[in-house]
């Protein structure tokens, strides 16, 4: 019998908890983890550093050759870079330029966990385990606000809600690889779940999908 490598695809909107869940799944199943949002954030940051326009495909494409060291820049986690990432990610050329790196990570021997927006739909539609993690806008805005407080960023809850709504709109309605629940993906709503409960629920769902349930 051929056993498929355990690829775990975790998709969902900003601040849904997908990053925390993906990290915990990787630790639980002993798999390497790739936060694909970080790649788009690096492109967004690089366009900014180049003084380019993130809404222009050519400028955004040029920024896909960002140096590896940029992936460790703490500025990638900021709200401003998240907005730039969402803008550069609408360009099909940018998505194509980042595709191979994500696919080879997904298809490495032994399996992997990837989180993002299009893992279950485009990067690894063949993944045997797929989750679509979501939460209400108020729950996500509150989490993001707490995170920004910890980072010392002065943003109001209203600004975050407006930013989340704009990003959701862009991520869901773009033509190239829009955010949506992949076929076969299990839905996990974390609005009312503390992190530990969300992680436990995610592990259960993945175990079932991998036939270990």
Residue 40 binding ligand DC, by CB under 6 A = yes
Complex with ligand DC: residue 33 or 41, whichever CB lies closer: 41
Segment lying near ligand DC (by CB under 6 A), choices 21-29, 33-41, 51-59, 61-69: 33-41
Distance CA 53, CA 207 (A): 44
Residue 121 binding ligand DC, by CB under 6 A = no
Residue 118 binding ligand DC, by CB under 6 A = yes
Between the CA of residue 185 and those of 7, 8, 65, 160, 166, what are the distances in Å?
A: 13, 10, 32, 28, 25
Query: Least distance to ligand DC from the beta carbon of 89, Å?
Result: 3
Complex with ligand DC: residue 37 or 54, whichever CB lies closer: 37
Three-class DSSP category at 139: helix
Distance CA 57, CA 208 (A): 41
Q: Which of 6, 34, 41, 105 binds ligand DC (CB under 6 A)?
A: 41
Q: Which of 46, 64, 86, 209 binds ligand DC (CB under 6 A)?
A: 86
Complex with ligand DC: residue 55 or 212, whichever CB lies closer: 55
**63-82: which residues touch ligand DC (CB under 6 A)?**
82
Estimate to the nearest angstrom the gap between the alpha carbon of 3 and the chain centroid: 27
Complex with ligand DC: residue 73 or 118, whichever CB lies closer: 118
Distance CA 211, CA 97 (A): 34
- Interacting residues of 125 by C-beta distance below 8 A, sequence separation 6+: 182, 183
Contact pattern from residue 151 through residue 180 relative to ligand DC, giving x for each residue in contact according to CB under 6 A and a dash for the rest: ----------------x---x---------
Segment lying near ligand DC (by CB under 6 A), choices 36-44, 55-63, 139-147, 153-161: 36-44
Query: b/e per residue, 89-115, with b = 16+ CB within 10 A?
Result: bbbeebbebbeeebeebbeeeebbbbb
Answer for the pair 17, 198: CB distance below 8 angstroms, yes or no: yes
| Contact residues: ligand DC, CB under 6 A | 14, 36-37, 40-41, 82, 85-86, 89, 116-118, 167, 171
């Amino acid at each position: 019998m051929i056993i498929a490598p355990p690829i775990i695809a975790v998709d969902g909107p900003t601040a849904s908890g997908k990053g925390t869940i993906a990290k915990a799944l990787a630790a639980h199943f002993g798999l390497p983890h790739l936060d694909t949002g970080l790649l788009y954030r690096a492109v967004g940051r690089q366009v900014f550093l180049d003084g380019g326009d993130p809404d222009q495909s050519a400028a955004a494409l040029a920024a896909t050759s960002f140096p590896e060291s940029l992936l460790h820049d703490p500025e990638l986690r900021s709200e401003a870079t998240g907005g730039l990432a969402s803008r550069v990610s609408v360009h099909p050329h940018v998505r194509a330029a980042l595709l191979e790196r994500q696919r080879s990570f997904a298809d490495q021997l032994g399996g992997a966990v990837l989180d993002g927006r299009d893992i279950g739909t485009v990067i690894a539609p063949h993944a045997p385990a797929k989750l679509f993690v979501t939460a209400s806008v108020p729950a996500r805005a509150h989490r993001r606000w707490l995170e920004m407080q910890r980072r010392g960023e002065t943003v109001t809850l209203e600004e975050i809600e407006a930013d989340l709504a704009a990003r959701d709109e862009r991520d869901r309605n773009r033509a190239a690889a829009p955010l949506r629940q992949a076929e076969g993906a299990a839905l996990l709503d974390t609005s009312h779940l503390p992190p530990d409960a969300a992680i436990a629920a995610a592990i259960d769902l993945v175990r079932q999908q991998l036939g270990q349930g």
